[in-house]
Amino acid sequence: MSDIINDLINNLVFTFERLDWLGVLDLLLVTAIFFIILRWLRDTQAQVLLRGVFLLIALIGLLTSLEVLPAFSWLVRTTLPALLLAIPVIFAPEIRRALERLGRAGSILDGGRTTSTTEIQDSISAIVSASARLADRRHGALVVMQRLDNLDQYVQTGVRIDSRLTAELLLQVFYPNTPLHDGAVIVSGARMVAAACVLPLSSSGVLSRTPDRQMGLRHRAALGISEVSDAIAVVVSEETGSISVVHAGRMIRRLDSQRLENILRALYRPYQPRKGVRGIFDRLFPGLARERREDG
């Protein structure tokens, strides 16, 4: 055992003695890549798996560098190609999501879609008013507010409305046992685009870690759409009448009308996209951009 420890120490000392500025830059680049990947997959099940893979790779690399374990080194060299082939299968959904986000980032170069301040305020006022009245009656609701990312693929799963958004229209759509009650309403600007839309369910496990486990499909769908786009979702719980806002995989719960309106206005404040490299960075890493705005 002491020979293994001494060999490890000697290898570390030899590595640090050979380290120059190019080596430091190399280490910083690798660290930055790991940091970006972990931040990209934050609050998802893939993050836990990825941490395990990184730890396993580091442990295998450490053990195979020791000449006193030839049999183990042979086993690792033999099975490592199979492990590398298995990684794309394990992380297939996350890889697809990352490529979609990378592709959407290119739209920032042409300025993207713009929405007037009046349209935004009209939408927020209608949603806040309807949410308060739905919460008092304990009628469940899910409203998705489209921002830069296109939601046409989810609009196609529902019934197209294409009507001016009003609180009364939302109350009618989410009245219990009506044909459009189930599913989500998608709003773009000051118009209700579609109702009864099917959204992707979140698999991050965020809801399972909350003290209240009664949150159901509406909350999972709200988290799911926020994980694959920059949309904002407003959820009214049918069981408790509680109002929640979901954005970028984060949920703020138990809101009253005033807090709901303040949060929606704050989230829509950075709607005007930045152009160039900084805009692409904000689109690729919305969590980092949001934290920077909150600090500022």
- pLDDT digits over 40-77, tens only? 666 555 555 666 666 767 776 666 665 556 776 677 67
Residue 222 CB-density burial (10 A; 0-12 exposed, 13-18 middle, 19+ buried): buried
Alpha-carbon distances, residue 117 vs 32, 190, 272, 277, 283 (angstroms): 37, 10, 10, 25, 21
Q: Which of 132-136, 164-168, 197-201, 215-219 has the lowest mean pLDDT?
A: 215-219
Domains, in order of start, for the chain: 2-93 (no CATH), 117-271 (3.40.1700.10)
What is the pTM assigned to this prediction? 0.62
pLDDT value of residue 107: 46
What integer best gives the mean pLDDT of the chain? 77
Average pLDDT of the residues in 12-23: 72
Using 50, 70 and 90 to split pLDDT, how confident is the model at 139? Answer: very high
pLDDT of residue 31: 84
pLDDT band at 271 (very low <50, low <70, confident <90, very high): very low
Structure tokens at 258: 């005033």
Task: Evaluate if residue 274 carries a pLDDT over 90.
Answer: no
Q: Which residue has the tokens 């807090």?
A: 259
pLDDT the model gives residue 8? 64
E strands present in the chain: 141-145, 159-164, 184-188, 191-197, 232-236, 243-247, 250-252
Q: Select the more confidently predicted residue: 277 or 227.
A: 227
Give the residue, 26 or 170, on which the prediction is more confident: 170
Convert the pLDDT of each residue in 74-114 to its tens digit.
Answer: 776 777 677 667 767 666 666 666 666 555 554 444 444 45
**What is the arrangement of strands in the sheet containing 159-164, beginning at the earlier edge strand?**
159-164, 191-197, 184-188, 141-145, 232-236, 243-247, 250-252
Of 33-47, 130-144, 162-176, the one with minimum mean pLDDT is: 33-47
Residues 232/147, Cβ–Cβ less than 8 Å? yes
